[in-house]
Amino acid sequence: MTSSLSSSNRKVAVVTGSSTGNGFETSLLLAKNGFYTYATMRNLDKSTRMKEIAKKDSLPLEVLQLDVTDDKSVTNAIGVISSRHGRIDVLINNAGYDAFGAVRLIKAVIPIMRKQRSGIIVNVSSIGGLVGVPLNSAYTASKFALEGFSESMKYELDGFGIKVILIEPGAVNTNFLETLEAQKAMNPDSPYAELSKKASEGRREAFKQASSPMQVARVILNAIKSEKPNTRYLVGNDAAAIMERKKNSSDFELELWIRDSLEGKGFVRK
Ligand SMILES: NC(=O)c1ccc[n+]([C@@H]2O[C@H](COP(=O)([O-])OP(=O)(O)OC[C@H]3O[C@@H](n4cnc5c(N)ncnc54)[C@H](OP(=O)(O)O)[C@@H]3O)[C@@H](O)[C@H]2O)c1
């Protein structure tokens, strides 16, 4: 690493789940915008492309192993970063699809941010953390938990100069859909088989209008650069349409609209 890349006046950012999708683009965008970025991933075999780009563009970016489900891996990674820089300015909790990894990272990073009396924690949630959709109960529950956790934590951390931001993407064109579909491969004899087929078709339709991971990365960058960031940032027209519906509908009306949207139409403004 050259001295210009390791200069101590850069803000230090840690991104989880950087091997693909939103984490990949966010890591690169943060580094391109001057953050000394730790692009962390659980499997370093997937780091080749990231390293090539960082080297070619002389980006202030390093790849580090970090599995968000593993206490030791989290402690090691945060320990390495903290001992090198003595600070962590931004944590982007992006990895995986459940909330527990984010909690583990936040617990590891908060003492450092509290000591420096500043910091930004970005939790990548989902529009599925604000509105439940069919046959997604575990994911939805986890993202709702991340929403509540973030909202409550804000009050505790505010006094230490630590900000907490939620990112709420709708459909994004990453590996996410294929991973979800593979997890949901349904036994045709299941009592939910018919609903599952319909939900899967609805999801595929919705993903035809998906945002790009670069859009998510840009929203994250703008949020962390903001003097007074919002609590939540939506990403995508679908997310905006769903929230608009939620705001202007009764629970019953919203449910009808979601059922209707699954009939092959996707979530569109009507
Ligand atoms: N795509 C969407 O439509 C969408 C919509 C709303 C919200 N989001 C959120 O966006 C975030 C990123 O997802 P994505 O869309 O970019 O999907 P993705 O391309 O599947 O990326 C998921 C990333 O998480 C990593 N990961 C999984 N388990 C991990 C663990 N235990 N430790 C460290 N990393 C782990 C994966 O690493 P491996 O490569 O090793 O598997 C991968 O880098 C997630 O929080 C997701 O809920 C996505």
Q: Annotated catalytic, 36?
A: no
Kindly give the number of the ligand 1 atom that is closest to the alpha carbon of 93: 45
Taking the C-alpha atoms of residue 177 and residue 161, their distance in angstroms, rounded to an integer, is: 36
Kindly give the number of the ligand 1 atom that is closest to the alpha carbon of 69: 31
Taking the C-alpha atoms of residue 132 and residue 139, their distance in angstroms, rounded to an integer, is: 9
Kindly give the number of the ligand 1 atom that is closest to the alpha carbon of 127: 6
Q: How many CB atoms lie within 10 A of CB 200?
A: 18
pTM of the predicted model as reported, rounded to 2 decimal places: 0.95
Task: Report CA(172)–ligand 1 centroid distance (Å).
Answer: 11
Determine whether the shortest distance from the Cβ of 43 to ligand 1 is under 6 A: yes
Determine whether the shortest distance from the Cβ of 93 to ligand 1 is under 6 A: no
CB distance 171 to 234 below 8 Å: no
Q: The dihedral of CA 169, 220, 80, 20: what is its sign?
A: positive
Annotated catalytic residue, options 36, 38, 139, 233: 139
pLDDT tens by residue, the chain, 270 residues = 444 455 568 999 999 999 999 999 999 999 999 999 999 999 999 999 999 999 999 999 999 999 999 999 999 999 999 999 999 999 999 998 888 999 999 999 999 999 999 999 999 999 999 999 888 889 999 999 999 999 999 999 999 999 999 999 999 999 998 888 787 666 778 888 888 888 888 888 889 999 999 999 999 999 999 999 999 999 999 999 999 999 999 999 999 988 887 765 555 444
Determine whether the shortest distance from the Cβ of 92 to ligand 1 is under 6 A: no
